């Protein structure tokens, strides 16, 4: 079931990344070393949601690259969400944009969503009791191709596509 959602998501994100690289004005940026660094064993960026009562271990390249906003979330029947917002470099003139959202769905709601045709709203990370933890990623990079922000945003998103966050419930 997980592969059913991850493969189309990975394909979509890679298409976006490849399209950004095709821009003639794009800087030559090799993100392979940054993504490879995410595979380092036991090297994670640990996040704890006090309100959601869960923790998430992201690839280490996420360290310092985001801020988290916890809030009630009713999208598609979710009950809670944590929005992970990209942190541009200090002095950058771009607005922060959403990197990912982890939502907590009641199991019955998730089962209805998962059974619907079309692109999934999120990918399940963990089911625990009546809760399903799922992650939503952006459909495209919101930053101008060839910019430092676009390259860093791609590194962070592709890192969690390659190594999805590990969720633990408190």
CA distances from 41 to 36, 59, 100 (A): 11, 10, 23
Number of domains in the chain: 1
The total of other beta-carbon atoms located within 10 Å of residue 168's CB is: 13
Query: Would you say 94 and 149 are in contact if contact means Cβ atoms under 8 Å apart?
Result: yes
Q: pLDDT tens digit string along 64-85?
A: 999 999 999 988 999 999 999 9
Structural domain harbouring 153: 2-169
Each residue of 136-151: pLDDT tens digit?
Answer: 999 999 999 999 999 9
When pLDDT is averaged across residues 86-107 and rounded to a whole number, the result is 95
pTM of the model: 0.77
């Amino acid at each position: 079931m997980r592969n059913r959602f991850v493969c189309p998501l990975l394909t979509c994100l890679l298409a976006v990344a490849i399209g950004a690289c095709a821009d003639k004005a794009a800087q030559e940026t090799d993100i392979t070393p940054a993504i490879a660094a995410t595979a380092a064993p036991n090297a994670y960026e640990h996040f704890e949601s006090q309100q959601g009562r869960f923790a998430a271990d992201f690839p280490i390249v996420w360290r310092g690259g985001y801020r988290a906003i916890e809030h009630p979330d009713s999208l598609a029947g979710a009950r809670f969400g944590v929005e992970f917002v990209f942190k541009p470099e200090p002095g950058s003139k771009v607005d922060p944009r959403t990197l990912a959202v982890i939502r907590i769905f009641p199991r019955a709601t998730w089962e209805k969503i998962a059974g619907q045709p079309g692109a999934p709203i999120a990918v399940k990370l963990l089911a625990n009791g009546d809760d399903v933890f799922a992650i939503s990623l952006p459909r495209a990079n919101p930053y101008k191709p060839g910019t430092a922000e676009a390259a860093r945003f791609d590194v962070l998103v592709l890192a969690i596509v390659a190594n999805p966050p590990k969720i633990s419930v408190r």
